[in-house]
Chain A
Amino acid sequence: MAIKKDPPEINASSMADIAFLLLVFFLVTTTMDTDFGLARRLPPPLPDEMEEPPEIKQRNVFVVLVNANDQLLVEGEIMDISQLKLAAKEFIANPYGKEELPEKELKEVPFFGNYEISKQVISLQNDNGTSYNMYIQVQNELARAYNELRNELAEEKFGKSYDMLVERDDEERVKAVRKIYPQRISEAEPKDIGGAQ
């Protein structure tokens, strides 16, 4: 006759070893770094038969050129990168309605009523020999000019910065602010003057 006995206990002392093994595996094969970046949208490829692009007035275009030595030429003047943001901001907003800065057009914008929106376009052209770092810095400064203007506008109107509106998913207000300061950075095909590589 079989004696009623409790089943023998399974030895669990190796469980820790197994778990450690798994832990080490995950530590080695995974990374924790989060990726950050400047988000951009490329223009779609050009169709074969090109229509004549609409003429853009000289005063509405902010020309930024970067050469192979990473030097900046902004609207025909040599400029240091630290001044680029201010120059871009003044151009985009044209607060005093100057003659040589972009024209403005009255448009209906939600929350703002009729608002004068400038017809600004920023044209960025670099050389094939421009360093990637310089390119990113220029892109960053231009984006910063737009973001600061948007922040100032949103702060004035809604008492909250634009970043905060974006964070709170306040889509209508974000759209309104964007309509007043649309980010228009056009990249021309690069030239090959400074000698690539």
Chain B
Amino acid sequence: MSKFSKKSDKGLPAVSTASLPDIVFMLLFFFMVSTVMREVDLKVKMNQPSATEIKKLENKALVDYIYIGAPVDARKFGTTPRIQLNDAFATVDDIQPYIEQKRAERNEAEVPLITTALKVDKDTKMGIVTEVKQELRKVQALKLTYSTLERIERD
């Protein structure tokens, strides 16, 4: 037999998979560091407006979210815009306890730094938004952010 046929007898050597766990762990750590836990399941439609003069929300641990928009499940809940706190629908009266509860969860020194982020759907009317703002004033939660998307302007 020639030299060549001898070689083909052996078959391909198996590819070593010993480094596979390392690669996967690397990916895992990347995702653990660069992402945050999903806050809630959205029950309202969320099509945010866009703006240019915006700031990035710093320190997400100190941000409370209030969602306002028309319910996703329109057959069950209608199309009137609703407020969502945590994972459930709420009314304007629930906002004060919600803010108080969020304050109680945190360190006292951090309380003045808490920001409330309003995530409101584009098509919502201002009436409900103003009511929410008045409630926030009553509980002295004055740091507010209107959450928007980023719009790039070409000058």
Contacts and interface: CB of A to CB of B under 8 A. Distances in A.
Interface in B58-115: 60, 63, 80, 115
What is the predominant secondary structure among interface residues of chain A facing chain B?
A: mixed
Given A128-B126, A132-B125, A29 B38 contact: yes
Contacts of B150: 36
A182 interface: no
B52 A136 contact: no
Contacts of B136: 42
A130 B128 CA distance: 11
Given A23-B24, A132-B49, A35 B125 contact: no
Contacts of B147: 35-37
Q: How large is the interface on A (under 10, 10 to 19, 20 to 34, 35 or more residues)?
A: 35 or more
Nearest to A34: B56
Interface residues of B, number: 53
Nearest to A192: B127
Interface stretch (A95-103, A138-146, A153-161, A171-179): A138-146
Contact of A136 (B24, B27, B55, B148): B148
Contacts, number: 150
What is the predominant secondary structure among interface residues of chain B facing chain A?
A: mixed
Nearest to B129: A132
Contacts of A39: 55, 115, 143-145
A106 interface: no
A38 B54 contact: yes
A190 B133 CA distance: 12
Interface stretch (A10-18, A50-58, A107-115): A10-18
Given A133-B122, A192-B127, A27 B31 contact: yes
B122 to A, nearest CB: 4
Contact of B127 (A12, A128, A139, A140): A128
5 contacts: A37-B148, A38-B145, A132-B125, A140-B53, A140-B148
Interface of A: 12-13, 15-16, 19-20, 22-23, 26-27, 29-32, 34-45, 126-133, 135-137, 139-140, 143-144, 147, 189-190, 192, 196-197
